[in-house]
Each structure stands twice: as C-alpha cells, then as structure tokens.
Chain A
Amino acid sequence: MVEASLAAPPLAAKPTLVELQGVNKTFANGTVALENLNLAVGEHAFISLLGPSGCGKSTALRIVAGLAGASAGRIVWNGNVEIGDIGFVFQEPTLMPWATAFDNVYLPLRLQRMSRGAVEERVLEALDLVGLVDFAKAYPRELSGGMKMRVSIARALVTRPKVLLMDEPFAALDEITRFKLNNDLLDLWRSRRFTVVFVTHSVFESVYLSERILVMATRPGRVVDEIDVTAPYPRDDAFRTSQAYNDWCRLASAALKRAMGEA
C-alpha cells in the first residue's frame, strides 16, 4: 500500500463529482423520508453521512447509486457514469451463499461478460487488497462476519469504481475489527484515489475517517450541518487518542445532538 503522506488539499479545490439538489423522497405508504436534501460530493473526497436511525441515510445513498428514484429534485453527475463506476457496500455482507469468495468478487465483472480467465488476476488482486487471497475458494459460511464484509468490499472494488458508497459497513463488527477495517479503508482510499460516501451513525467513526461530515436530521431527512475535519492524513491509532480527535468528536457530537433536538 502506498504510504506517501499527502496533506488533505483544501476541499474547495475538489471539483464536484455528484450532487443532490433539493431531493425529496416520499414512499408509497406516505412516509416522507427526505425533504429538500442538498449535498455535494467532491472528487476523491471522503464524506460521511452522520445521523440518527431512520433519518434517511440509506435512502439518500440508494438514490445516489440510482437504486431508488427521487420523488423530486435532481441528481447531477459531473461527467459520464459507466457501469462499474459505482461500488456499493451494504450494511450486511450480501454475498451469494452458493458462490465462493472468488465467484462473489468476480460477479460484477461476470455481469459485464468478462471471462473468468481474463480477469482472474483482477479478482485475486481485489481479494488481496482486503487480505483474503488465501480464502478465494472458501464459501461465505466458512468466513467470519468481518471476513464476509471484506469480501463484499473487494467485490465493490473489483471494477475500480470512481466512487464507493458504503452503508454502515462496519456497524455489525466488534471494535477491534472495525478499527482495522477503518485503517484498511483509509489506506485504500489514499492509494486508489476514489471517492467515498460513508454512511454511519457513529460519531467516532465519522471523525476518524472523513474529510467532511454531513449531519442529518430526522423526519423529514435533510442535511442540517457540515463539519470539515481538517486533521491531516494519514490518520492512525495515534490520531484516535489525540486531543484534536477528541475535540472533533465533541464538535460532531454536539452537532448531532442539535440535529436530533430539532427533529
């Protein structure tokens, strides 16, 4: 993994990759999940959506991915989005139980009609990124929860996406595994230069990972606060125990509390 230390460039310098403008989402049963949601994601940015349960984070992410339609508003992509430009990681591993880890990661390429032989290297490389090459032939049931999650991240990475959308990917994991996967994700992000939109309800996780935190409020879901975490990368375990980290967490926590008070 590339260890070059790159200071975070000023956020304004990043051209917008995707933008939601005044997005509303009303479900068939009348639930208004999102109302006038505005958010912009810069290229190569690491953005977190932070908010309480039920505030519409998953809905917003699905709309960005095009997996759900907005009831009103616009989704504007800067440039073409080809198939494979978006990687999506669900809250659950969401693997096919009948397929090996290799075949699960191979799936996005297979759907683009690439033959197994032609892309074997790429699939194994993606598995290597998450440290699971040795388990290529294992079935999901033979893997631990964290390993399954890593397979699903490898699957999202195998198409070399421009943007990685992650929906509370580490929420179900224990703290030690989560810290490890946090670090792995940051390393990958810095070496591969993709964009990340990361949904979480953990203040600590959002501060540790992201350049910018969008705080959401409930009913209707909308962005009520933005926090730019200007702490430099690489961030590591030393950052986790630093005073600066503490201060950012307190700030984000207060913003979240305000958002929930407003709800």
Chain B
Amino acid sequence: MSSAIARAAVRGRHGAQDSPMADARERQSHRDRLLRWGAPVLIAGLALIAWELVVWWNQIPHYILPSPSLVLQSLVRDWGTLSASLLMTLQITFLALAVAIVGGVGLAVLFSLSKWVEFSLFPFAVVLQVTPIVAIAPLILIYVDSTYAALLICAWIVAFFPILANTTLGLNSADHNLQSLFELYGATRWQTMRFLRLPAAMPYFLGGLKIAGGLALIGAIVAEFAAGTAGAGSGLAYRILEAGYRLNIPRMFAALLLISLTGIAIFLTLSLLSHLLLRKWHESALEREK
C-alpha cells in the first residue's frame, strides 16, 4: 500500500500517465490483499464452528475439551486475573527483547570493529544459543534471587542470538566497492559504521528481530513453567499451570489463546516495522514492478 503511494508520487513527479492497465493491476493487488486476510479468517471461522458443533454434538465434557464459546466466556469472566498475567508476560517479553536488541546490536558492532573481540566472545554466544533454555532455566532460577530477573534472563538468552548473528552478518555484507569509496574519502571507522555498515545491516537486523520477537515470548513462557508455582510468578504460563491443577480446562485454553494472540501481534508489529523501514529501498519490501 505505502510503496504504491510512494510509486504514485514518483510517477506524478516525473509526469508519466496512469494507464487502464495500471488500473487493472491496482484492482488485482486489491484482490490479492483481500484474499490474504480473508482466506485465513474464513478458515479459522469454519474450524471454530466445526469445533463448537463437535463438542455440542458429542456432549464432550468441558474438562476434556471445552467449546470455543465456553473458552470465550472464561476469557471474559477471568479477564481480571488473565489480563494482569498477560501484562506480566508482555512486560518480560518486551523488556527481554529490548535488552536483546541493545546487547545484540551493540555486541555485533563490537565484533565487526574488532576481530579479537569476535573470536574471543562468539563461541560463548553460540554456547548460550545451543543449550536448551528448559535445561538451564532451573539453574538460573536457583542462582538469581529475584524470579522476575531470572525470567528476564531466560527470555533474553533465547532472543539475543538471532539478533547478534544476523546483525553481525549484515554489518559484514556491505558492498566492498562502497567500502573502498569510504576509504578513498578518508571516512573514520565511526562514519563507515554510521553511514554504510549499519544501513546495510538493517534488513538482516530486522530479519533477526522478527525471529527474536517470537523467541522472547517463548523464552518468557518456558521460564515461567520452569519457575512453576514455586516462584512468585503470575504470568500466563503460571495461569495455565494453576488452571491445570484445578482442572479448569476452559481457563487453560483462554490463557493459551492469549499467548497465541500475543505471538501473532508481536510478529505482525515487527513485520510492519520492517516494512516501514525498508519500503523505500530493499527488495524484500518492494513489490516487483511488472
């Protein structure tokens, strides 16, 4: 949409004409967009109706499989506790993501400035990445006094690596001739970073960010599970555990629904951000000119 506007503006500036064919293309892309949103929504709606009918038809008890309407009721009734938990999980997710961005980009910049730092630290970043978070979460919970801080660390560990790895790759992939050009004009290291390597790394960073967003949420949830009821946890995972003990299955589903919606929202937000930042120049955000 936005790139279409930009294109139209350019077209206007250079004084070219819109043709009937362009109109047809416009309509086609409109249809595409409708399909892109309409089709999944339709499928989801049908599935929900089928689910509702199956439960009702077979009289499945709600502690085995609650119907969608019951889950919705539970969501509304328990909104007070659930929303507080949602807020808690969101807080940890976004805080972890923020620290991962600052740390990941910062370390990537450091890596690209000094091979020395890269060679000495990168292996440890890999170790953090390949060790399953479920396996180290209990340890972290033992050694870190504050549960909140422990959850944050767990979410950060999983979110951090994709940002570090992608940004490092991006910083190193700036065009070599452009690097020569910067050298020719006596650019300082900082100028090369600011005007060449960081912009060149942007698409890679945003790709990593999209992955990290989802992983931060997963990290937060996994850590909450590991903390269990022992911790002062009050996030969504804790609500699932708690509802499980009480056999309050509809509430489990409601909490699960909130987690999924959060994940989807994070993904969409980051995709939009990526599109907005890249729409002017990067192939990934451009519609192919036909």
Contacts and interface: CB of A to CB of B under 8 A. Distances in A.
B30 interface: no
Interface stretch (B133-141, B148-156, B165-173, B278-286): B278-286
B202 interface: yes
Nearest to A138: B10
B181 interface: yes
B175 A66 contact: no
A137 B177 CA distance: 23
Q: Is the interface of A mostly helix, strand, loop or mixed?
A: loop
A111 B286 contact: no
B195 A110 contact: yes
B180 interface: yes
A84 to B, nearest CB: 7
A66 B184 contact: yes
How many B residues touch the partner, as a band?
Answer: 20 to 34
Interface residues of A, number: 28
A142 B10 contact: yes
Interface stretch (A7-15, A31-39, A41-49, A89-97): A89-97
A111 B10 contact: no
A100 to B, nearest CB: 9
Contacts of B13: 134, 137
B177 A94 contact: yes
Contacts of A129: none
Contact of B199 (A66, A90, A96, A159): A96
A97 B282 contact: yes
B184 A112 contact: no
Nearest to A103: B195
B196 A96 contact: yes
Nearest to B289: A141
A120 B202 CA distance: 27
B42 interface: no
